[in-house]
Structure 1
Amino acid sequence: MGKGIEPNQPYLTNPIRPSGEWKVWWRLLRPHTLTASFVPVGVGTALALQNGHFHLVLFLAMMIASILIQAATNMFNEYFDYVRGLDTAESIGIGGAIVREGIKAKTVMTLALAFYTISILIGVYICYHSSWWIAAIGLICMAVGYFYTGGPYPIAYTPFGELFAGFFMGCIIILISYYIQTGTVTVESILVSMPALILVGAILMANNIRDLDGDKEFGRQTLAILLGREKAIRFLAGMFVISYIWMFVLVVMHIVSPWLMLVFASVPKAIQATRGFRGKTAPIQMLPAMKATAQTNTQYGFFLALGLLLTHWI
């Protein structure tokens, strides 16, 4: 591991640009990653609506809490990668609030904890109207968000980052969103949540492919590093393929409605994402492919939710 930089370095008080600009704070949220929070909530709620259950306020509460947790996780990432010396002013794909905009690291951490606090308060409302077991599950999800880059053994430094992110920010969020509307979890809801696990994990895989060289230099052991760049790209392509085959099989087995085949409308974006990584080695060259990966998750989730709604309406 490289030597970390303490968050009270003098240059933090000399911002390169005014830190009050709203765009600085918007970039700190890393908005391109927020698809991993709002898509699962939308899918879980649409699945509940298909079965005749929908509570608008619970839906909005779950959506806001999920987005806040994802945004806070991104801020923890920004903070801890800076403290450990991974982020510099030249780093690609980061919010850059600390290393480029001069915002104090402590401010970023405080804002992240504030987002967590608000999400907990929203969670109390959700639990009151559903089950207090949701509190335990929600706290586990929040702990994973923090320890993804925080703590002595960050999840992001291991080969299990994609699995943890996909399971807790994809699968579990869908099931919580479904449960708070219906009061139960069904086999159908579990099976429908599996592609979200894969595609949210794909967003992390795309990120790790882009950062492969830098991560290797700082001693990380991500799945992309263990596989190597070319195999990691093929693995990413395989993740896309499995997510589509999974839905096709569910339709063929009459577990879900044929309307869910609408997800195949997102295939071109998945192809674009995969091709965008091939032959690229510079992080900046891979930004369009990363964006396409997140868009694949968004489009897949949108068409999945639309298919569920059409099943209910038609």
Structure 2
Amino acid sequence: MASVGEWIEGARLRTLPLAVAPVVAGTAAAVSLGAFHPGRAFLALLVALFLQIGVNYANDYSDGIKGTDEQRVGPLRLTGSGAARPGQVKLAAFLCFAAAMVAGLVLITETRQWWFLVIGASAVLAAWGYTGGKRPYGYLGLGDLFVFVYFGLVATLGTLYVQAERLSLTAVLAAVAMGLIACALLMANNLRDVPTDLEAGKLTLAVRIGAPAARLAYAVELGLAFALMLFAVPQNPWTLLVYLALPLAWAAARTVLVTRRERALIPVLKQTGILSLVFAVLLLLAGVIGAWAA
């Protein structure tokens, strides 16, 4: 039986900023439009957090029973290490998905945007299908695409829409930026696991393009996220505040580009998660100042 500490470690709390950041970015866009709704923002946050923890447990379960985690480099995996039985980890994943669905249903009922039921269902299926099922898309190199869509576009624009019921150019740019940063984090994670993933037949994008190209892709994704926000400056000059996070991106990118040791990439995951959250908070600050100045 796994201890409470092991279950917490298995939830991979260092990845949670990746779930919080797009909700903050979407809320920043809502503030800019004068449509901030704290209750709906909080429900969107609950959906994102429960989905993130659920997908972490789901990946733990699926990779564990496939043997992918037997020789991995990185934090504890409950199934692969034998700390918890596979059925327990699978149940934990489903309970988190259920909690996300409950929060989502409350949000949908509040907003009466019933078409969000389709998006919510697709998000749960995508969370499970990353490493679960007979043909997990994470093993085919499609994980980055789904991360971009759900951690960038869906989470950010969905958070905005349930508050403002409309979109904006700044929100679209922020959504793409959030998606790129999320993809960078996944790239760093998969870069660390290239040797073991290749041996296990898990053909992530990092495995398919090779370690040198994956290192470059990480830096390019972060660079594009910052470059895109320049197009939002005409709408709100305070958007330039996001560049205060550039040193965080530089430090993480330098580590990825220079280091050749898999274990040295472990802190990069936390750094990239923090970067995404700081980026989003700065967008929120820019939205608050811009709305106040207007």
The answer to whether 1:134 aligns with 2:113 is no
The answer to whether 1:190 aligns with 2:172 is yes
Q: What is the SS of the residue equivalent to 2:203? A: coil
Structure 1 residues 59 and 250: alpha-carbon distance in aligned structure 2, compared to 1, 3 A threshold: closer
For 2:92 and 2:204, the matched residues in 1 are separated by: 28
Paired position in structure 1 for 2:103 = 122
Paired position in structure 1 for 2:273 = 294
Q: Which amino acid aligns with 1:202?
A: A
Residue 238 of structure 1 deviates from its aligned partner by 0.7
- Which string of whole-angstrom CA distances, capped at 9 and with x for unpartnered residues, describes residues 248-275 of structure 1? 1332xx1x31111111111111111112
Q: Which amino acid aligns with 1:294?
A: G
Residue 183 of structure 1 deviates from its aligned partner by 1.6
Matches within 5 A, 1:220-299: 220-251=202-233, 254=234, 256-299=235-278
Which runs of structure 1 show a deviation greater than 6 angstroms over 4 or more consecutive aligned residues? none
- Identify the range of structure 1 (179-188 vs 162-171) with the bigger mean alpha-carbon deviation: 179-188
Residue 215 of structure 1 deviates from its aligned partner by 0.9
- Which string of whole-angstrom CA distances, capped at 9 and with x for unpartnered residues, describes residues 116-173 of structure 1? 1111111111111210111111111111111011111112112221121121122111
The answer to whether 1:45 aligns with 2:27 is yes
Matches within 5 A, 1:20-169: 20=3, 22-88=4-70, 91-100=72-81, 102-130=83-111, 131-169=113-151
Q: Is the 8 A contact 2:236 2:290 kept in 1?
A: yes
Q: What is the SS of the residue equivalent to 2:81? A: coil
Q: Which amino acid aligns with 1:116?
A: F
For 2:169 and 2:256, the matched residues in 1 are separated by: 36
RMSD: 1.6
Q: Is the 8 A contact 1:165 1:201 kept in 2?
A: yes
Q: Is the 8 A contact 1:257 1:311 kept in 2?
A: yes
Q: What is the SS of the residue equivalent to 1:175? A: helix
- Which string of whole-angstrom CA distances, capped at 9 and with x for unpartnered residues, describes residues 4-53 of structure 1? xxxxxxxxxxx6xxx23x32121111011111211111111121122111
Q: What is the SS of the residue equivalent to 2:259? A: coil
- Identify the range of structure 1 (282-291 vs 124-133) with the bigger mean alpha-carbon deviation: 282-291
Residue 309 of structure 1 deviates from its aligned partner by 1.7
Q: Which amino acid aligns with 1:174?
A: T
Q: Is the 8 A contact 1:276 1:288 kept in 2?
A: no
Query: In the comparison of the two structures, how many residue pairs are matched?
Result: 292
Q: Is the 8 A contact 1:30 1:71 kept in 2?
A: yes
Percent identical residues = 26
Q: Which amino acid aligns with 1:307?
A: A
Q: Is the 8 A contact 1:272 1:289 kept in 2?
A: no
- Which string of whole-angstrom CA distances, capped at 9 and with x for unpartnered residues, describes residues 34-85 of structure 1? 1121111111112112211122221111111110001000000000000000
Paired position in structure 2 for 1:4 = none
For 1:223 and 1:121, the matched residues in 2 are separated by: 33
Q: Is the 8 A contact 1:46 1:305 kept in 2?
A: yes
Residue 102 of structure 1 deviates from its aligned partner by 2.0
Q: Which amino acid aligns with 2:217?
A: F
Larger RCO, structures 1/2 (Cα 8 Å, 6+ apart):
2
For 1:185 and 1:279, the matched residues in 2 are separated by: 39
Q: Which amino acid aligns with 2:171?
A: S
Q: Which amino acid aligns with 1:134?
A: F
Q: What is the SS of the residue equivalent to 1:129? A: helix
For 2:210 and 2:232, the matched residues in 1 are separated by: 33
For 2:210 and 2:78, the matched residues in 1 are separated by: 30
For 2:210 and 2:170, the matched residues in 1 are separated by: 36
Matches within 5 A, 1:171-186: 171-186=153-168
**Structure with the largest fraction of helix:** 2
